[in-house]
Structure 1
Amino acid sequence: MVLVSLDEDGLKQVTVLPITHSPPGDPGAALELPAETKQRLGLDGLRSWIVLDEVNRFIWPGPDLVPRVRGDMSTVAYGYLPRALMLELRRRIGVLAKARRLRTVHRTE
């Protein structure tokens, strides 16, 4: 999760970076999740990338969330990323934002 804010109705809006198994077309617009981090978070063993040039916004909790345990919404948060990875994400998102290459996709409408 990148950002949490309240909308005009007092609902929590979250902004998150999507994760994909698809290798990026532009390596500068994605960051590979380390295997150790994926394992600690309980994710699968396939290679995955954090998409850096797109952020998703939606209401929390909402239909856009997929819990690890079916029906248990407390399992939608997988855990924390290592500090070094978070700093690299912030740096690279900043570069993309300055270049106006960051877009927002509204998921809950």
Structure 2
Amino acid sequence: MSKPPLSRSRSTTSWTKPKPANVLSYSYLWAHEAARGEEDGRRQRPVVVVIAREEVDGNTKLLVVPVTTQPPVHPGDAFEIPTRVKAHLGLDAERCWIMVTELNRFRWPGPDIRPIERGEDRTPFYGFIPQPVFDAVFAAVIARAEGKRVKVTKRSW
């Protein structure tokens, strides 16, 4: 599977359609929560768009991976976000990781998108992660998907 191209424009200040590497505010539903029958994420968190695919019906379908402050059980299951990238995204100084073992799949914008305050704007976009970080995340997700070692939770569709 080939890697999706990143947007030429790095600006994400409006509710435009997300592109791979964008970081959004979203009410993420963990796979273990979905397995217990839960339908709503417990809290909003940053997520990284891995795939954004426009369908023939005009809808955009997203696959996103979560960002968490909980260190991974297995080091290869996540990528720590560098301090400089966290600052660029407006995240706090606490250590955090992009998990690559599970995804949420949904139609943009979906009811689980959560706007954040960005100056005078209310937007779901934190910004984007740099290309090298995205490349590593994307490759890890694809490798796990090919090995059937990634959990995908289908949300609003």
Runs (4+) of structure 1 moved beyond 3 Å? 6-10
Deviations 1:44-88 (Å, cap 9, x if unpaired)?
22111111010111221122112212993xx21222211211121
Instruction: Indicate if the aligned counterparts of 2:50 and 2:138 stay in contact, CA closer than 8 A.
Output: no
Match for 2:75 among 27, 45, 50?
Answer: 27
- Map of 1:99 onto structure 2: 147
Work out whether residues 52 and 63 of structure 2, in 8 Å CA contact, stay in contact via their aligned partners in 1: yes
Match of 2:97 in 1: 49
Equivalent runs, 1:1-109 vs 2, <5 Å: 1-6=49-54, 10-69=58-117, 72=122, 75-108=123-156
Unaligned runs of 5+ in 1: none
Q: Percent identity?
A: 36
Deviations 1:9-53 (A, max 9, x none): 643221111111111112111111111101101112211111101
Shift, 1:8, TM fit? 7.6
The separation in 1 between residues aligned to 2:50 and 2:140, in whole angstroms, is 13
Letter in 2 for 1:43: L
Kindly indicate which of the two structures has a greater share of residues assigned to strand: 2
TM-score between the two structures when normalised by the length of structure 2: 0.60
Question: What is the rounded CA distance, in whole Å, between the counterparts of 2:145 and 2:100 in structure 1?
Answer: 10
> TM-score normalised to the size of structure 1?
0.83
Indicate the larger mover: 32-41 or 85-94. 85-94
Count how many residue pairs are aligned between Structure 1 and Structure 2.
Answer: 107
Unmatched segments (≥5 aa) in structure 2? 1-48
Looking at structure 1, the residues matched to 82 and 105 of structure 2 have their Cα atoms a distance apart, in angstroms, of 25
